[in-house]
Amino acid sequence: MATPLPQKGPGLAGMLSQQQQSHLPPGLGPGQPAMLPQGALREISPVFLCRIGQETVQDIVTRTMEIFQITRATQLPNGVTQSQAVYQDRFGKLQEHLRQLALLFRKLRLLYERCVEMTSDLQEEPSELVPYVREEMAPVRVEPCSPAVSQERLEVLEKMRQKNQEMKILMDQMRNLLWDVNAMLTLRK
């Protein structure tokens, strides 16, 4: 039940990685993005695009973590001369990661736009996005019940309050015990 996709420039075919091409519909092997039939991209479902988007987000996170690792490993100039080649190598790696990151974000934007195009008729979009604020809920009409049921409900609520209070006391005792143990271990060192 895939809807047709409009063709825009190199579009999605040029952006699919080999891992994502392995998820293509039957008959489309990996390594064939340039030889895709005209209707191949039109048969890709929004679910498939979302899966590619999820993998793209994972790639973005991985690249970002690698960038942070490179910057963490870089020693700030503190008067000690380091090899210029080491700095150039790290700078080159950092530039490559940033370039790849920019490409991944463009790919994610393209995937998002295609998904929105394909699913625009499925749901209406909210006019504005606002944080959820607890609204007054309409009172629920409760039918009167027997006094025995009301009494049992009150008893269960009271037992629950007592158990919650006991659990709170136990948690406080455990917290204090852990503080004492940590204090003793600190003093031992």
Q: Higher model confidence: residue 131 or residue 37? A: 131
In the chain, pLDDT over 90 holds for what percent of residues?
32
Share of the chain above pLDDT 70, in %: 62
Residue 26 has pLDDT above 60, yes or no: no
The string of DSSP letters for 98-156 reads HHHHHHHHHHHHHHHHHHHHHHTTTSPPPSS-----PPPPPPPP-----HHHHHHHHHH
* pTM listed for this prediction: 0.45
Res. 104: pLDDT tops 90: yes
Please give the backbone phi and psi of residue 53, each rounded to the nearest 5 degrees, phi first.
-60, -40
Average pLDDT, the chain: 75
Per mean pLDDT, which of 34-48, 90-104, 130-144 is the most reliable?
Answer: 90-104
Long-range contact pairs involving 134-137 (C-beta distance under 8 Å, separation at least 24): none
Q: Is-contact 65 31, C-beta < 8 A?
A: no
